[in-house]
Amino acid sequence: MNKFFRGLLVMGAAAVVTVGSSLVQVKAAPMAPTTITVHYDTQNLGIAKGNNKKIYVASTTVTTRNVRQPDKTMKPVTTVKAAAPVVYDAQATTTVELSSFAVTKDNYISIWGDKNPEPILVKIPAVKTKIKAVVSAADNSVTIQDTTNPKAPVNLTDSLEYCTMNGKWTDMTNGATFDSFSKLGATLRIRIKATAQKALAAADKVVVGTDAEGNAVEAYAAPGTFAGNELKAKIAKTAAGPKATIDYNLRTIKMPVTAEYRLTGASANALAAYTSVEGDTLANGKKAATATLQVDNLLKSVTAGDFDIRTKATDKKAASQITEYHLYAVLPITTVASNGKAPVTSGNITDVSEAFLEELKQRTGFDKDPRIRFTGTVYDKELLKKIRENAFGYFHGHEVGGTNPSLLEALASTSLNLLLDVGFNREVALDTAFYWEKQEGSLAALIARAEQMSADEIRALGRRAKQRIDRYYSWEYITDRYEKIFVKRS
């Protein structure tokens, strides 16, 4: 059969049959295109054997060039040349590996059999290589573009798939966002997805040129695409969220001007849009790098809610992770310091026993003193933590019980702590707190002294208290001490 491939591929061989007493020349039948299936996903051909015992497959070159004609005009002429064929023993379905043909330009393969000697020409589509991945830092979207014309790239319409470096290939939509990978960052592998297998059909016949005699040169091109070369797209790790300072005394929230916020709650939209902030105006008229929000204004639409902030996205950087806070419902009341300083805003924290308050009111008349407000027992740990952190001072009146957990929590959270002067309170706090006795006037004198302290003095006292808690009341310190005792006694 190699005689058909000496130079120019012979597209029409002949067979001789006898009909009666005459010799009739009949054109040999080529293989039917429907016997050939292109498997784009596994990059091979499946060829049904039919009546053939041998299958011949040859790499083929199709070239078109201008040829001068006798009348001196130039005419495009297409020539078809085949290399020496690879011979296969025909199976029910003969598999032909195509990976070497799936390259950067269209390729052709000629196929015939010993019973179907006329070759059929199959066009193998090129793999697209002039493509690039464009990652948007603003929203972590990835767009794959065809850069055949680098000055005017266009978005691919091919099916795509992606996977992480060691993951499973998953379908993707061009321009899809990958926020789920942004928390830790990731490098994605992306490629054009191979289409499903396709059996050739008569409708897949295309004209690829004209030979020297003016006859059409035809090939079968099954519509489809091989898997493309892999691209890498890096999804940057999202930056940590910004911090806000919530002051429950002043009822304000301070946050960077580069941040945006949203408030969600039972009566608020859980997918509320973020709102940008404007910097505070300084004395010189310029804008500060921080902005101040009024809690009362925020809580007009909801009685309480989650307060989320994040750094705003820019053209070159995605929005940061979300920092979540909770704003507690507080009713505005007015209190004044004992020395008559300007009023500050506080609030009712929880419900209290009305019967107990009524009895206390009758005995003490506290309701006539605007400085006194009973809040009741606070069980919410987060709320209690915020109350302690923002309190001017903490009274600890426990007289028995040893090392008290509430005292440890107060020393770790509140800067100014006024303790009843008993042995175990002093043993816990030492010189990081002030002490009062049960004698009349002792506590009042200590309060007056505390109110004369500067903010720096109070902060310094608080730092010493926190250092003592960190050093002597951590689990690490306590277990180390127990370990030394057990080792010594053993």
- Please check the confidence at residue 264 and state whether its pLDDT lies above 80: no
* Number of Cα atoms under 13 Å in the Cβ half of residue 76: 9
Helix, strand, coil percentages in the chain from 3-state DSSP, rounded to 5: 20, 35, 45
Contact between 279 and 289 (Cβ < 8 Å): yes
- What the block records as the tokens of 165 is 């470096």
The answer to whether residues 316 and 137 touch, using CB atoms and an 8 Å cutoff, is yes
Query: Which pLDDT does position 465 carry in this prediction?
Result: 95
pTM: 0.51
Return d(Cα 35, Cα 101) in angstroms, integer.
Answer: 20
Least confident of 113-127, 266-280, 374-388: 266-280
Q: What is the largest CA-CA distance in the chain?
A: 144
The residues facing 87 across adjacent strands are 56
Tokens found for residue 77: 């002429």
The per-residue b/e assignment along 221-236, b for 16 or more CB within 10 angstroms, e otherwise, is: bbeebbbbeebebebe
Kindly state the tokens that stand for 283: 């004395």
pLDDT at 357: 74
Q: Of 44, 49, 59, nearest to 116 (Cα)?
A: 49
Please tell me the distance from the alpha carbon of residue 204 to that of residue 222, in angstroms, as a whole number: 6
The predicted pLDDT at position 283 comes to 81
The two tokens of residue 252 are 């304000």
Tell me if 197 sits within 8 A of 181, measured CB to CB: no
DSSP-derived letter for residue 148 is: S
Exposed e or buried b per residue across 92-130, where buried means at least 16 C-beta atoms within 10 angstroms of its C-beta: eebebebeebbeeeebbbbbbbeebbbbbbbbbbebbee
Q: Inform me whether the pLDDT recorded for 24 exceeds 90.
A: no
- pLDDT at position 348 is 43
Determine the Cα–Cα distance for residues 457 and 446; give it in Å rounded to an integer. 15
Sheet holding 323-327, edge to edge: 275-276, 259-264, 305-311, 323-327
| % of residues, the chain, pLDDT over 90 | 35
Mean pLDDT comparison of 2-16, 366-380, 439-453, highest-scoring range:
439-453
Query: Using CA atoms, how far apart are residues 26 and 210, in angstroms rounded to an integer?
Result: 24
Torsion of CA 454, 459, 461, 466, to 10 degrees: 170
Least confident of 45-49, 79-83, 226-230, 448-452: 226-230
From 8-22, 241-255, 356-370, the region with the lowest mean pLDDT: 8-22
Average pLDDT over residues 147-160: 90
CB atoms within 10 A of CB 75: 13
Of 21-30, 125-134, 313-322, the least confident: 21-30
Confidence of residue 266 (pLDDT cuts 50, 70, 90): very low
> Among residues 411, 394, 392, 378, which one has the least CA distance to residue 339?
392
pLDDT the model gives residue 265: 61
- Dihedral over Cα of 469, 470, 475, 479: its sign: negative
SS3 of residue 343 by DSSP: coil
End-to-end CA distance of the chain: 96
Q: What's the whole-number average pLDDT of the chain?
A: 81
- Predicted local distance difference test score (pLDDT) of residue 346: 39
Is residue 287 within 8 Å of 258, Cβ to Cβ?
Answer: no
Q: What percent of the chain has pLDDT over 70?
A: 82
Q: Are the C-beta atoms of 55 and 36 separated by less than 8 Å?
A: no
Mean pLDDT of 132-146: 88
Residue 99 has pLDDT above 90, yes or no: no
Among the listed residues 288, 280, 285, the one whose alpha carbon sits nearest the alpha carbon of residue 252: 280
Report angle CA 357, 369, 248 to the nearest 5 degrees. 85
Strands 205-210 and 93-97: unpaired
Least trusted range by pLDDT, from 202-206, 320-324, 416-420: 320-324
